[in-house]
C-alpha cells in the first residue's frame, strides 16, 4: 500500500469499486481523519480525473447523490448488449436442485431425486446446464453409468463466490418454511461488514 497516494488515485479506485455514487463526505471518509483532504482538494482531484477520462469510453460524472464513474452515453448501445438477457426468475424446484448439486457434488440425478423426494424434470437440468452453472464431470460406476453433476466456475461467478467454501454452512440455516428464518447476511449499514 503506497504511503501517501495521490488523492485523485484514491478517489478513482473508490469510485470504480463503489456500487453507487459517492458524495464528498464519503470521499473524505476514505482518508485518515487527520490527513483527510478538504472539499476543495476533493473537487480539484475530481476535475483532474474528469480531464484524464476525456475522450475515453468512461467518464467521471456528478449526479444528484454524488459522483460516479460510468460508461459514456455514446457507448451505451454497445455496452448494453452485455445485459440483453433479462435476469431469470427461478422456481423453488430449480433452486433446490442447484443447492443439492452445490452442497453434495458430484451427485447423480437419482441422488438428487432421493434427497428431494420427487422427480427432477429434464427442463430443470437443461436450464442449469444451459446457464453453465452445472455440468457432468464424470459417470458413477454403477449400472447405467449415470452422469455426476457438479457446479462450474460460472455458478461461482453468478453468485459472487470465489470458492465453494464460501457457501453458507447448512447447519447455520434454519427451515426455509419458517417465517422467522434469518440468513447470516451482512448488515448494509454496518461499515465493517464485508
Residue 185 inside a domain? The answer is: no
Q: Which three cell numbers stand for residue 48?
A: 483532474
Q: Which of 191, 172, 190 is nearest to 182 (CA)?
A: 172
Residues 98 and 162 in one domain: yes
pTM, 2 dp? 0.49
Q: What is the pLDDT of residues 2-31, one digit of tens each?
A: 677 899 999 999 999 998 889 999 999 999
Residues 96 and 72 in one domain: no
Residues 97 and 75 in one domain: no
d(CA 155, CA 149): 13
Domain that holds residue 110: 92-172
Q: What is the pLDDT of residues 35-89, one digit of tens each?
A: 899 999 999 999 999 999 999 999 998 887 788 898 898 998 888 888 776 656 7
Residue 186 inside a domain? The answer is: no
The CATH number of residue 29's host domain is 1.10.10.10
Amino acid at each position: 500500500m503506497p504511503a501517501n497516494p495521490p488523492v485523485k488515485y484514491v478517489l478513482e479506485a473508490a469510485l470504480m469499486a463503489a456500487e453507487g455514487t459517492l458524495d464528498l463526505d464519503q470521499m473524505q471518509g476514505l482518508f485518515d481523519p487527520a490527513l483527510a483532504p478538504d472539499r476543495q482538494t476533493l473537487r480539484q482531484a475530481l476535475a483532474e480525473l474528469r480531464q484524464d477520462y476525456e475522450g475515453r469510453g468512461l467518464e467521471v460524472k456528478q449526479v444528484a447523490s454524488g459522483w460516479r464513474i460510468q460508461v459514456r452515453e455514446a457507448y451505451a448501445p454497445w455496452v448494453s448488449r452485455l445485459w440483453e438477457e433479462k435476469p431469470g426468475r427461478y422456481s423453488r424446484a430449480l433452486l433446490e436442485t442447484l443447492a443439492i448439486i452445490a452442497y453434495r457434488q458430484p451427485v447423480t440425478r437419482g441422488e438428487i431425486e432421493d434427497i428431494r423426494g420427487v422427480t427432477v424434470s429434464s427442463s430443470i437440468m437443461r436450464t442449469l446446464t444451459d446457464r453453465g452453472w452445472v455440468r457432468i464431470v464424470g459417470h458413477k460406476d454403477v449400472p447405467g453409468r449415470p452422469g455426476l453433476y457438479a457446479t462450474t466456475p460460472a455458478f461461482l461467478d453468478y453468485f459472487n463466490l470465489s470458492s465453494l467454501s464460501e457457501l453458507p454452512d447448512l447447519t447455520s440455516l434454519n427451515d426455509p418454511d419458517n417465517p422467522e428464518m434469518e440468513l447470516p447476511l451482512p448488515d448494509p449499514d454496518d461499515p465493517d461488514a464485508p
